[in-house]
Amino acid sequence: MTITMGSGDFTYQPAEGWMKLPDGWVTGDVAAVGVDRWDNVYAFNRGAHPMIVFDRDGNFLRSWGEGVFSRAHGVHMGPDDSIYCTDDGDHTMRKCSLDGKVLLEIGIPGKASPYMSGEPFNRCTHTALSPQGDIYISDGYGNARVHKYAPDGRRLLSWGGPGTRPGQFNIAHNICCDADGWVYVADRENHRVQVFDGNGKYETQWNNLHRPSGLFMTGGTCPLCYIAELGPHLPVNRDHPNIGPRISVMDLKGTLLATVEASPARGAGPGQFISPHGMSVDSRGDLYVGEVADTSWSRSFPDVPKPKPVRCLQKLVKVKAG
């Protein structure tokens, strides 16, 4: 039976068996996904090979990052065929070439700033670029800040602090920018996306989300924001319907255009999610969703033995209208 998810212009079908790894390889948790201009897919993961690269048909191309990255968390594709890799275990952000050469490093490897000090970094989570090339880094788990850097790595400013008020964060988990330079932050445990100008001035927020974890912003004249929502994780509400895990598609006014989820939403079947953590969209509109499903399995299914391996990367093919 063909599974269809979403609605209208945002209708998808899962591509079962898409990922083809070398014999004996597993990805581990896929924390983030990037797609380059050739539609090659970069799976930033917590396995033995931190960056695994596939073509759009799922064929293995190469891997890199072994011995460099500690704990994969965020990926952003630069406009100059570069990739920005945020490592929350190593407290660093590294700009790399597409074959893994480190071009810029921000942060001191292995050295965290004091917890909630506001100084970079304590378990930084993700990176975004302004239209002018400025670098925004969300920070993250051990801080509640966003830091802005010049393209050469000089820190320009920081904003935010722990809390629930506008401009405060309860896990600044992901970040992206639009073509006008506005900054969008997935404020995960406050169940919202906050929107700022390029210098950290609070503008608005998007509510009615459940633990937004991943953000992906498209380009063009009518950009869209894809939001990965983790869904519930507490025993008391783990099986509640209508709160994920799922992908929501919104315009830049915060209007919900579509919800992409299976029924039931949680699971290891085609189109189901366990813990959607990061995603990307290719030139044809197909979705690539990375999950930290290996880590989250026991919390999601405490009475079910964990399969080996757990699927942590899924491709959803956009269904053409008509």
pLDDT of residue 322: 62
Count of domains forming the chain: 1
Query: Tell me, what's the pLDDT at 226?
Result: 98
pLDDT at 112: 98
Q: What does the pLDDT look like over 212-251, one tens digit per residue?
A: 999 999 988 789 999 999 988 888 998 898 999 999 999 9
Structural domain range at position 56: 5-318
**CATH code of the domain containing 301:** 2.120.10.30
At 118 the pLDDT is: 97
d(CA 268, CA 109): 35
Please give the chain's pLDDT, 322 residues, in tens: 689 999 999 999 999 999 999 999 999 999 999 999 999 999 999 999 999 999 999 999 999 999 999 999 999 999 999 999 999 999 999 999 999 999 999 999 999 999 999 999 999 999 999 999 999 999 999 999 999 999 999 999 999 999 999 999 999 999 999 999 999 999 999 999 999 999 999 999 999 999 999 999 998 878 999 999 998 888 899 889 899 999 999 999 999 999 999 989 999 999 999 999 999 999 999 999 999 999 999 999 999 999 889 999 999 999 987 6
pLDDT in tens, 274-311: 999 999 999 999 999 999 999 999 999 999 999 889 99
Tell me what pLDDT residue 1 has. 66
Q: What is the pLDDT of residue 143?
A: 98
